Amino acid sequence: MSEIIALLEDLNVISVTVRLLLSILFGGAIGLERQGSHHPAGLRTHILVCIGSTMTTMLGQYMFLQFHSDPSRIGAQVVSGIGFLGVGTIILNGGHVRGITTAAGLWASACMGLAVGIGFYEGAIIGFAAVIFALIIIRKINNFYYKRHPRTKYAKISLKQMADVVYISKLLHTWGVVVENVHISHTQKDDENFSNGVTAVLELNMKSYVDSNSVLVDLLKEECILSADYIKPQENIAEPEHDVL
């Protein structure tokens, strides 16, 4: 057993093959989870990041054995350099940020690749298990909690015309907010400029990563919205004049 461990810790054809296979396995598992959730960086990206990190560390180890140079110098650049790739997975949509978990997953894949490349198998395996736990198990716990405790809010919005209700509903959907119901409470007739305006009460179901305050701020930036604010459920209109959705 000790001979096998020594063989894998040394830099040879067998250890290089095992390390690259592990990097493909670890990076692929994380990438598959991200790809299944329809995120920008998927299976191939995570595999390539993990392989690249593994190769980088093995190169540092080889340079140390051949030229007695510092093996950590080349690997240290991976930790900072992977940030540039992670930035490409972060999407800003109307003030709402998505992709941070994927960027962190890429960084974690790079760190696992470094551990595998240097022969720190125990750390790489435990780290891989921790990453999978965070991505899959914690997500299921998080989803279960929000199913039991949904983030439902009611927003009272005044719009310039009826057609704007559909536009706002689609816009909210891109921000991670599902419009469950829309009730048109009354038509504004007191203002000649907005004689076709309406006041709508929207029942919103917000995903876990959505900041409700940011949603309200971004809504107020839209030209078609005259006013917008959250109201309490009991303030919702019991008998609306029109049901849009």
What's the confidence (pLDDT) of residue 18? 93
pLDDT given for residue 235 in this prediction? 54
What burial letters (b/e) apply to 63-81, b meaning 16+ CB within 10 Å?
eeeeeeeebeeebeebeee
Dist. CA 107–CA 87, nearest whole Å:
11
Which range (9-23, 84-98, 109-123, 194-208) has the least confidence? 84-98
Q: Which band of pLDDT confidence, cut at 50, 70 and 90, is reported for residue 189?
A: low
Report the share of the chain in percent with pLDDT over 70: 84
Least confident of 61-75, 211-225, 228-242: 228-242
| pLDDT at residue 116, rounded to an integer | 92
DSSP string over 36-98: HTT-SS-HHHHHHHHHHHHHHHHHHHHHHHHH---THHHHHHHHHHHHHHHHTT-EEETTEEE
**Can you give the pLDDT at residue 113?**
92
Q: Looking at residue 55, what is its pLDDT? A: 92
> What's the pLDDT score for residue 244?
43
